[in-house]
A = this chain, B = another copy of it.
Amino acid sequence: MRIVSLAGGIGGARFLRGLLSAAPDSEITVIGNTGDDITLYGLQICPDLDTVMYTLGGGIDEEQGWGRQKESHVVKEELAAYGMEPQWFGLGDRDIATHIVRTQMLAAGYPLSAVTEALCARWQPGVRLIPMSDDRTETHVVVSDERGRRAIHFQEWWVRLRASVPAEQIILVGADAARPAPGVLQAIADADVVILPPSNPVVSIGTILQIKGVREALEPKTVVGVSPIVGGAPVRGMADACLRAVGVESSAQAVLELYGSPLIDGWLVAEEDAGVRLDGVRVEARPLIMYDAESAAAIARAALTLARDLAASRNTGPQSAFRMGDAG
């Protein structure tokens, strides 16, 4: 089976690990968010791509969810000793090597998709990881503080301010000009099913959906999403702060409506959100907390089963709907 998944950082990466163990013989293509990318100290940093790569490649700091295991921070301390700003971004020594390789290859003219493939040659994540675009985009957040109303880089809002200042607007700078990276639209066209992990619906999956042609390519496919909101609160991270910025409440219902139909065909919600519904969408309730690898795999299995059922019912027409109901 050919599966496409869109993914942000920690939540997406953990879900993908579950998906890999739930569908070990599938061909999985992951379209990674690059809106969080940032250039710091002259290094091109792709936090979400790296989190997916390290998590699936066995190099992630499990506790933290991002960055490398057994990490040290000598370079960061030395940069601080020189007074280099910013100092709020956590940059480990092992991680820096990844950024050096990436920055070098980009400077040599390789597109980000080729660079990502080269980095993955070391990590062997077990999926094909493609950045959403080779064109530079950057998520900026409009905030108001003592310096007035201004747009800051998403990482500054997320990491330095811990999303404590309200986001008045979230803008993907460069979205208009960004084309999908080579392979993105083809992978979607070839996919049997598409799975949206419980990644941030605004700054992760929402960002990928803004890339020209991606949403349109997804709409005719069988797409199953896993709600990132359980009982009114994000499973992890600060998705609620991002949802507030786009005027969407933090609920499994509201996120489903944000994605909308015809994009979404199936929607997994937690058992306490069983009442969620939207025309054209089959909603199923399942335990959605990823405590560990096994619970992540169980959620992935549920999403896959729902997606397979929906795809089969679509292929065989309405008369199979009854059988699908039995299988669900």
Contact = CB atoms under 8 A, between A and B. Distances in A.
A325 B98 CA distance: 64
A82 B98 CA distance: 8
B74 A93 contact: yes
B72 A84 contact: no
Given A97-B75, A97-B78, A83 B42 contact: no
A119 interface: yes
Nearest to A79: B97
Chain A interface residue number, banded: 20 to 34
Interface in A71-120: 72, 74-75, 77-79, 81-84, 93-94, 96-98, 100-101, 103-104, 107, 119
Contacts of A74: 72, 74, 93-94, 97
A78 B94 contact: yes
B93 A75 contact: yes
Contact of A75 (B75, B77, B83, B107): B75
B119 A82 contact: yes
A149 interface: no
A74 B72 CA distance: 8
A82 B122 CA distance: 6
Given A42-B103, A75-B75, A83-B122, 6 more contacts: A42-B100, A75-B97, A79-B101, A82-B98, A84-B97, A96-B96
Interface of A: 41-43, 72, 74-75, 77-79, 81-84, 93-94, 96-98, 100-101, 103-104, 107, 119, 122
In the A-B complex, list the 5 residue pairs whose CB atoms are closest, starting with the nearest.
Answer: A78-B97, A74-B93, A42-B104, A79-B97, A82-B101
